[in-house]
Amino acid sequence: MSFIIVFMWSFVLWLVLTAGTKGMLWSPEELAAGVIFSSIVAYSTKNIVGEKASRFLNPSKWLGFVVYSVGPLFWGMVKANLDVAYRVITGKIKPGIVRVPVDLENEAQYTILSNSITLTPGTLTIEACPDEKALYVHWINVTEPEPQSSEVIAGSFEKWARRLGK
């Protein structure tokens, strides 16, 4: 199962990277080389990619990722970037590392949430602790030293991470 998924994604990436080299579409030689290289990649990673890899085949999840990254994530980055720009110019900072309790189940959800938090400026995930269900976040302007939920830091990201990482 994981072989097919890795093969498919590597082949898609190959098609994207080779589009337009000779005419608009792909030549047969390119397609053949793509099949060979994708097979090598898929074979060599078949023990690394876990059993839950079938979730990468779910089209509603692809759509979810696209909507999430152009919607809430991009808007969060715009707001946070303007905030950090203000702090860079005025130099008004109040940094600190806070513990943020989160309610997530698996590692994919932790990865999505902590990457989203790190990608929005002003917050930087230092450590994710799935055993105590908490993230340690360096925050450039601490308004609440002991937040009770990730709402103050990440807004709606936690809800999205829970849905996308299932």
Partner 1 sequence: MIEYMIYTFLAINMIFNLLGSISLHRFPDVYTRLHGATKCTTFGTIFAVLAVVVHALYQLRITNDPKYLQMALHSVVALIALLLTNPTGAHAIAKAAHLSGVKPVKAVIDAYERKLEEGAQ
Residues at the interface with partner 1 (CB under 8 A): 13, 16-17, 19-24, 69, 77-78, 80-81, 84-85, 88-89, 91, 93-99, 114-116, 118-122, 124-127, 129, 136, 138, 140, 142, 145-146
Please say which residue, 138 or 162, places its beta carbon nearer to partner 1. Answer: 138
Please say which residue, 1 or 96, places its beta carbon nearer to partner 1. Answer: 96
Shortest gap between Cβ of 8 and partner 1 (angstroms)?
A: 17
Cβ-count burial 39-59 (b if 16+ within 10 Å, e if not):
eebbeeebeebeeebeeeeee
Shortest gap between Cβ of 153 and partner 1 (angstroms)?
A: 13
Q: Is 102 buried (19+), middle (13-18) or exposed (0-12) by CB count in 10 A?
A: buried
Shortest gap between Cβ of 95 and partner 1 (angstroms)?
A: 5
Please say which residue, 109 or 125, places its beta carbon nearer to partner 1. Answer: 125
- Interhelix angle for 157-164 vs 59-68, to 10°? 160
For residue 115, the surrounding DSSP H or E stretch is helix 107-119
Q: Are 42 and 3 in contact (CB under 8 A)?
A: yes
Shortest gap between Cβ of 13 and partner 1 (angstroms)?
A: 7
Strands (E), 11-161: 96-101, 123-129, 134-139
